[in-house]
Amino acid sequence: MEACKKFRTMLEQPGCIIAPGVYDALSALAAEKAGVEAVVMGGYGVSASRLARPDIGLLTMTEMAEQLKMICDAVSIPVIADGDTGYGNPVNVERTVREYEHAGAAAILLEDQEFPKRCGHMAGKTVIPAEEHVLKLKAAIAARQNPDFVIIARCDARGPLGLDEAIRRGHLYLETGVDMLFIEAPQTVEELERIAREFRGAKLVANMIEGGKTPEVDARTLGEMGFKLVFWPCTAPYVTLKNLIEVFKVLKRDGTTSRVRHMMFSFSEFNELVNLERFVPSAVEKR
């Protein structure tokens, strides 16, 4: 089943879908090997992995599309892709949607921040007028070639303009015909519950960033509230960077990784995970 159809089917099934954030093909493969059913390629992780820089709008659309294609080629599970602001006006949004579809994404999310944007849990965000984002969302809907390709409207107005304005915008965005709504960075459990009540019946997205503005709530509880999809977009880069630093410290101190081998795969285990035998059978030693 193709990724778009697979994701559409998942959206009609009960429960809240957990989508960890991935930033390259290897992190996506790790998610698939762990049994995860869908992933999200977020700008935060991609900016960190490609540039070692924060999520402040430094990446171009073509860089994101290139990364997306490598991720989609590496796994069979649906990949939801961060389309940021669409990288310009409605004409640019049209191209972004086409490029993301061609790369293999099952869904795209588009936010109403001003460019250059920043991570939704950072301070100092600004947003464009709601009417401008409506035009972008309409352009995205018109541009998609596969009707199963999912378009997610993201609203970042909670921080700069308050929850009431974010909810007002959410209703406008849903009226365009998008498939899902993502109100970014509510600041309390009560705000999450209000969002779920205000948009009951809509397919809603929640976003859990460890240490971010939104309190951490598990997927089962979010599903009971009325959310359909929950991102954990920063778990992978947080885990990877912390553990790499720890292992490299030990290597520098000891001159060997023997003390931290429990934190690593072996040569043969790693080759098995990346499917060496499929590509070069003669390179795999038979036991």
Structure confidence at residue 181 (pLDDT): 98
Closest of 151, 130, 3 to residue 77, by C-alpha:
3
pLDDT digits (tens, 9 = 90+) for 212-230: 999 999 999 999 999 999 9
- Average pLDDT on 47-71 reads 95
> Residue 77: CA atoms inside 13 Å, Cβ hemisphere, count?
23
Q: What angle do CA 236, 56, 106 make, to 5 degrees?
A: 55
Q: Which residues contact 145 (CB under 8 A, 6 or more apart)?
A: 98, 101
Rg of the Cα trace of the chain?
A: 20
Per-position DSSP letters for 31-58, written without gaps between them: HHHTT-S-EEE-HHHHHHHHHS--SSS-
The pLDDT of 195-222, averaged and rounded, is: 97
- Looking at residue 152, its pLDDT comes to 98
CA distance 153 to 179: 8
Strands (E), the chain: 17-22, 39-41, 79-82, 107-111, 150-155, 180-183, 204-207, 227-232
What integer pLDDT is reported at residue 38 of this predicted model? Answer: 98
Residue of 231, 169, 224 whose CA lies nearest to 206: 231
Instruction: Output phi, psi for 265, to 5 deg.
Output: -80, 155
Q: What is the mean pLDDT of residues 55-62?
A: 92
The distance of Cα 96 from the centroid of its chain, to the nearest Å, equals 16
Check residue 1 and give its pLDDT: 54
Q: Look at residue 121 and tell me whether its pLDDT is greater than 70.
A: yes
Confidence of residue 96 (pLDDT cuts 50, 70, 90): very high
Report residue 55's pLDDT band, with 50, 70 and 90 as the boundaries: confident
The CATH H-level superfamily of 3-240 is: Phosphoenolpyruvate-binding domains (3.20.20.60)
Domain boundaries, the chain: 3-240, 257-287
Q: What is the mean pLDDT of the chain?
A: 95
| Average pLDDT of the residues in 79-105 | 97
How many CB atoms sit inside 10 A of residue 194's CB?
A: 17
- What per-residue confidence (pLDDT) applies to 120? 83
Is the pLDDT score of 202 beyond 80? yes
Q: Which of 213, 246, 207 has the alpha carbon at shortest distance from 228?
A: 207
Whether 287 shows a pLDDT value over 70: the answer reads no
pTM of the predicted model, to two decimals?
Answer: 0.95
- pLDDT grade, residue 147 (50/70/90)? very high
Kindly tell me if the per-residue pLDDT of 163 is higher than 70. Answer: yes
- Using pLDDT thresholds of 50, 70 and 90, give the confidence band for residue 285: confident
**Helix or strand (DSSP H, E) at 11:** helix 3-11
Average pLDDT (98-107) is 98
**Partner residues linked to 23 by β-bridges:** none
> What share of the chain in percent tops pLDDT 90?
90
**Residue 44 in contact with residue 64, Cβ under 8 Å?**
no
Which of 72, 83, 82 has its CA nearest to residue 25?
Answer: 72
Stretch 111-138: mean pLDDT: 93
The pLDDT assigned to 118 comes to 85
Q: If we measure between CA atoms, which residue out of 55, 66, 67 comes closest to residue 111?
A: 55
Q: Do the strands 204-207 and 39-41 form a parallel or antiparallel pair, or are they unpaired? A: unpaired
Flag whether pLDDT at 143 surpasses 90.
Answer: yes
Tell me: pLDDT of 182 over 80. Answer: yes
Is residue 132 over pLDDT 60?
Answer: yes
280 against 254, higher pLDDT: 254
